[in-house]
Amino acid sequence: MTKHFLLWAEWLAIFVALPVLISLAGQRWLVFGALWVFALVGAWWLWRAHAVSVRAEWNSRGFLSEAKTIVWRFLGVACVLSLVTWLLVPEKFLQFPQQRPQLWGMVMLAYPLLSVWPQEVLFRSVFFRRYAALFVSDRAMMVASGLAFGFVHIIFHNWVAVVLSCLAGVLWANTYARTRSLAAVWVEHSLYGCFIFTVGLGSYFFTGANGIR
């Protein structure tokens, strides 16, 4: 009972209280530092408590078995997001690569390594094992992981980032539940994230909303 209570307290502190405090403080850079701290501590915990090796968690075979599904699903979503962006915020459509191509290129290279990797370690690799006692079914775990991932995006102070991140978080949690492959969710998250920045929605995930509220 005590262990279960403490686990709930830990979950609420990390995935609810901390994002709220960072959002209120208006210091978005803090979430990046916290993300890396929790990801590294979580990776150490996986190795220490579960003897999870990097190779086993990366699981290239799991990724290869899901690669075709990941690519086709991404292409479908990318078409929809492109159309929605062009219709609703045409001034943002492909704005980033057109106006700041060098910075866009740097983001395409750095984002998967510096942002996606720690996010997937924390919200998938660690989350699925650390909080298995709280969310006992695969469906509950996928929803909890996705919603926790989405809620963190309140730091950007716009509903677009939160809603899209919740949906994406559930999608990637589903991929991880099926494959148990960090490689699969890292590639999938990188594809969607880089596309978001490219198509013109990146401002909602970096500088906040400028048009949609």
The tens place of each residue's pLDDT in the chain, 213 residues long, gives 688 899 999 999 999 999 999 999 888 788 889 999 999 999 999 999 888 999 999 999 999 999 999 999 999 999 999 999 999 999 999 999 999 999 999 999 999 999 999 999 999 999 999 999 999 999 999 999 999 999 999 999 999 999 999 999 999 999 999 999 999 999 999 999 999 999 999 999 975 444 433
**Owning domain of residue 95:** 2-205
CA distance 33 to 46: 20
What is the largest distance, in Å, between two alpha-carbon atoms of the chain?
A: 56
Tell me if 213 is assigned to some domain. Answer: no
CA distance 210 to 203: 8
Tell me if 121 is assigned to some domain. Answer: yes
Tell me if 90 is assigned to some domain. Answer: yes
| C-beta separation of 110 from 140 below 8 A | no
Tell me if 212 is assigned to some domain. Answer: no
Tell me if 50 is assigned to some domain. Answer: yes
Tell me if 198 is assigned to some domain. Answer: yes
pLDDT at 207: 55
The structure's pTM equals: 0.93
Tell me if 211 is assigned to some domain. Answer: no
pLDDT at 196: 98
CA distance 130 to 128: 6
Helix (H), strand (E) at residue 149: helix 138-152
CA distance 125 to 43: 8
- Quick one: tokens of 54? 């990097």
| C-beta separation of 155 from 28 below 8 A | yes
Tell me if 175 is assigned to some domain. Answer: yes
CA distance 157 to 162: 9
Q: How many domains does the chain have?
A: 1
